[in-house]
Structure 1
């Protein structure tokens, strides 16, 4: 006699219960909001009291799907949504109507080279082979928007690899760029949860010139490492001249608000080749060494 095999589950799956609930006979009792299944009641889920549940859902959904996609680690790309690709940079200058607008357009054109560097770096890191268990490493991950983010996703697509886009609901719609892998395109309501997913799998971060959003993401990461909440990793600030112009790092040391050693938490670089070589040196001889 063979051993009995118990069933995997005894409760009906939630999907079946939801389908059954939809067939309920209409009556004054069954058509009220109180009678809806809680997980099908959008008005209930959007109550202020349910914010902790929505936090949990927004943390859990990408985590489960990225696990199922066997994405073990990512290479995160931060940077401006306003820097044009070189082919479109001159159009900004031509469209400028004032001297101030022209100066801004020229500054953006000068930084357009970083679109190409972001795209090139993404091509390089995307070619790291999966490990023995089939888990993928250094998968390109961006904010899913235009400019530097677009370049990163585009670089991965150039070499036939998938990439992640972590988009956010904004007052003015920011659609995912066309190069994000559709099955890895996520949308967030909470900035905090989005930033957490940027870092949960990050093993290297490229920080290109950017504004408030880039500052927010990059300096939160530096703070997490400085305070020991996150282990050190390669953090690559592209454009030494730009960053030293907009942030006086040495002044922070001189003022005593950071330690001299805190400046070692990141490194400056100018090119994709330089950045990838640094990451390879950083992980050389470790179990996490990328396929350089």
Structure 2
């Protein structure tokens, strides 16, 4: 009987098969280049590390059939309602007026956490009715605050979500609600931001600071210049955004085009943000965005 196994497989051993088990005992010059960490971390190989950071998440997401995402940005500093309530009680027990004022602000801002959590829930619940190859996945920066809330909402609705964490001088751990197979860590901000945009069918931006503004204006620039397809960019929270940015002023000063002010829309609730996505893609129950 013919041995069909001989008709399959490569003629050469794989790089993994030829990797020595006693790598640390081998002189540096003799180590296989792809197993030599000191060599891979050399300044001259930054371009290769760029490529690796781009390629690793790309390959994993493709292997899992992830094609369409909704990106949710926002502050890492906002607390969940339960944590904000606990912080206020602790501040009141301490009796320091400054701490009490700060804790009351945190309690008020926990509303933003709730909206991001609801968004994650809405997206994951919608995707539960779709073909597995056409699901929408929540993507966040993988940290606390708004990021945690969106990943949490998706998980609690039974969906999977993605976190793109970044190495920072102060330690930032990924939040516990990211699907483990989609929990990525980056060294380079630029590659991380590229992954935010690669599959994004909409960007939803909750109130935030410098990082949130950076991500928002990066997306606006890519769309304005035609480097990216136009997708909905939805800001949540009229009160915050009307004071934080003024596109009408930029238009009146002539530094952006009149139509550029229409690149964003502002709503107040997660439900309103989700409805804008539904309307943009003409979605109906059980229907997903097709890439």
Structure 2 residue aligned with 1:60: 55
Q: Over aligned residue pairs, what C-alpha RMSD do you find?
A: 2.7
CA contact (8 A) 2:134 2:288 kept: no
Cα distance in 2 between the residues matched to 1:83 and 1:265: 26
Q: 2:228 aligns with which of 207, 227, 230?
A: 230
| 2:169 equivalent to 1:168 | no
Structure 1 residue aligned with 2:155: 157
The Cα of 1:240 is off from its aligned counterpart by: 1.4
Structure 2 residue aligned with 1:241: 239
Instruction: Say if 1:102 and 1:223 are closer, same or farther in 2 by CA, change over 3 A.
Output: farther
The residue correspondences of 1:1-292 to structure 2 (distance < 5 A) are 6-18=7-19, 21-22=20-21, 31-93=26-88, 95=91, 102-127=100-125, 128-129=127-128, 134-284=132-282, 290=288
Q: Deviations over 1:233-264 (max 9, x none)?
A: 11110111101112222211121111221111
Cα distance in 1 between the residues matched to 2:130 and 2:119: 21
Cα distance in 1 between the residues matched to 2:192 and 2:116: 21
Unaligned 5+ runs, structure 1: none
The Cα of 1:121 is off from its aligned counterpart by: 1.2
Q: How many residues align?
A: 283
The Cα of 1:147 is off from its aligned counterpart by: 1.0
The Cα of 1:220 is off from its aligned counterpart by: 0.3
Unaligned 5+ runs, structure 2: none
Q: Which has the higher contact order (CA 8 A, sep 6+)?
A: 2
Instruction: Say if 1:108 and 1:270 are closer, same or farther in 2 by CA, change over 3 A.
Output: same
Instruction: Say if 1:231 and 1:190 are closer, same or farther in 2 by CA, change over 3 A.
Output: same
TM-score (normalizing by structure 1): 0.88
The Cα of 1:290 is off from its aligned counterpart by: 3.0
TM-score (normalizing by structure 2): 0.89
CA contact (8 A) 1:129 1:136 kept: no
Instruction: Say if 1:285 and 1:111 are closer, same or farther in 2 by CA, change over 3 A.
Output: closer
